[in-house]
Amino acid sequence: MRRLPVLLATVLVLGAAGGGLHVAVQPGWSEVELAQVRSLSLEALPPLPADPSNRVADDPRAAELGRALFFDTRLSANGEVACATCHLPDRQFQDDLPLGHGIGQTGRRTMPIAGMAYAPFLFWDGRKDSLWSQALGPLESAVEHGGDRTQYAHLVAERYATEYEAVFGPLPDLTMLPPHAGPVADPVVAAAWEALPEDRREAVTTVFADMGKAIAAYERTILPSETRFDAWVASDAFPKAGLLSEDEIAGLRLFLGEGECVNCHNGPLLTDNHFHNTGVPAAPGLPEDQGRAAGARLVREDPFNCLGPFSDARPEQCGELRFLAPDGEDLVRAFKPPSLRGVASRAPYMHAGQIGTLDEVLAHYASAPAAPEGHTELRPKALSAEERAQIIAFLGTLEPLTPDVKRLAEAPSRSAALRERSLD
């Protein structure tokens, strides 16, 4: 509909000409360019947005309860799976696997958590619209935690009653409730749930939603940390080489320019938090994945969404949900770009870990293959091997600072010599 074939040729010509230009010279930066670079830095990160759907989002007691729940393996069918099983704190809260492994194997790559509180939609397909509703999904998934609502409510009553009641008020009466009941895939557990009176189901579901709200309060405290790129932007040397090498800066220019990476990876979290079909191949052995086309439907149907009965928001505070694009060709096999902070140490890539290395990712973006379904937003790019290496070098500057570099970046003497030595 909005496709202009003429532009393709223009882009290719400019791509070839522009690529050579960036490698050959190191021109200065215009104010517009500098503003765009600064917009990627942590200094540009706005305050954490409020979550009106979660009244305890910023309650430290809720965060403490949520932290305990996040690491509690009793929240599972076999006593071995916690949120932290796949969201490993020392691994950027992800698991380095192509597909997540809980009770069974999921159909998607585990996403990192830092800065997710800024995302209007969660999961690769955005089928949840808050951190708290996101946290509830895996708890009831047969292949992730594999548990159910009455099991979780009983656990809260037995192990966390004091902490829960301090935040949310009195627990409902859970006596006579079956040990396992909930709207899950297991037919026995689902039948037990259906057999409960509606008011009891609602009471249990309220506890369940509150667990999500506590976990969300904890996850809101997981924020991106300073990287070498951020330190460079904040340094006296900026925009000259220093904490970043000439190659890394050349990679940044390509990232903003001919690579057009910044189209989707923009802002201080280096994601636009939207959904894009980039022609990523289907993962062998997995069912068809419609991406956002399914996610947009699921989030509107979700009883835990911003407009639902367990949300604390007023309808007018649910703008993202009220005005989401519900359907259309753009949504088919569209997935959310993850933040590129920490991406270099977070292989494999894409929504089902289909691509093993950043070099292969760049090769994919340069060749722009047709999408398995829907239409890719990519167009082929004439990026040389050197240019791809420079973009990857830039991505490497988005790793959290090592203590040594951090010390140098914060040293009272902000001399260029020190900064350059830190690159050794």
Residues forming the site for another protein (CB under 8 A) = 1-4, 7, 10-11, 14, 18, 21-22, 27-33, 36, 120, 240, 253, 256-258, 262-264, 266-267, 272-275, 319-320, 322-326, 328, 330, 375, 377
How open is the CA angle 308-309-313, to the nearest 5 degrees?
Answer: 70
Q: Report DSSP letters for 89-104, one per residue.
A: GGGTTB-SSSS-BSSS
- C-beta of residue 254 within 8 angstroms of C-beta of residue 383: yes
C-beta closer to another protein: residue 240 or 297? 240
> Nearer to another protein by C-beta: 266 or 290?
266
Q: Indicate the residue among 140 and 330 with the shorter CB distance to another protein.
A: 330
At what angle are helices 246-256 and 5-24 packed, to 10 degrees?
170
Which residues are within 8 A (CB) of 265 and not within 5 positions of it... i.e. 6 or more apart? 255, 271, 272, 337, 340
Smaller CB separation from another protein, 72 or 258: 258
Nearer to another protein by Cβ, of 262 and 350: the residue is: 262
Q: How far is the CB of 10 from another protein (least distance, A)?
A: 7
Choice between 225 and 266, CB closer to another protein: 266
Residue whose C-alpha is closest to residue 175's, from 148, 153, 192: 153
DSSP 382-422: ---HHHHHHHHHHHHTTSBPPHHHHHHHH-S---HHHHHHT
How many Å apart are CA 346 and CA 111, to the nearest integer? 10
Among residues 107 and 120, whose Cβ is nearest to another protein? 120
The alpha helices in 80-197, defined as continuous H runs, are 83-86, 131-140, 149-159, 161-168, 187-194
User: Closest separation between CB of residue 418 and another protein, Å?
Assistant: 21
Minimum CB separation of residue 377 from another protein in Å reads 6
Query: For residues 119 and 215, which CB has a smaller minimum distance to another protein in the complex?
Result: 119
- The least CB distance from residue 237 to another protein, in Å, is 11
Return the number of the residue (17 or 411) whose C-beta is nearest another protein.
17
Tokens, residue 412: 């009272």
Q: How far is the CB of 162 from another protein (least distance, A)?
A: 39
In the numeric block, the tokens 């090769």 are attached to 363
Q: How far is the CB of 11 from another protein (least distance, A)?
A: 7
Tokens 């800065």 sit at which residue? 115
Dist. CA 108–CA 123, nearest whole Å? 9
In the bound complex, what is the minimum distance in angstroms from residue 32's beta carbon to another protein? Answer: 5
Least Å distance, CB 189 to another protein, is 37
Spatial CB neighbours of 109, under 8 Å, sequence gap ≥ 6:
94, 97, 98, 99, 100, 124, 348, 349, 350, 351, 352, 353
In the bound complex, what is the minimum distance in angstroms from residue 296's beta carbon to another protein? 10
CA angle 357, 134, 310 (to 5 degrees): 170
For 63, what's the count of Cα atoms within 13 Å in the CB-facing half-sphere?
10
CA pair distance 133, 360, nearest whole angstrom: 34
Which CB atom, from 258 or from 302, has the smaller least distance to another protein?
258
Residue 380: Cβ within 10 Å count: 14
**Of the candidates 120, 98, 129, which has an alpha carbon nearest to the alpha carbon of residue 111?**
98
- Closest separation between CB of residue 382 and another protein, Å? 14
- The CB density around residue 71, as the number of other CB atoms within 10 Å, is 15
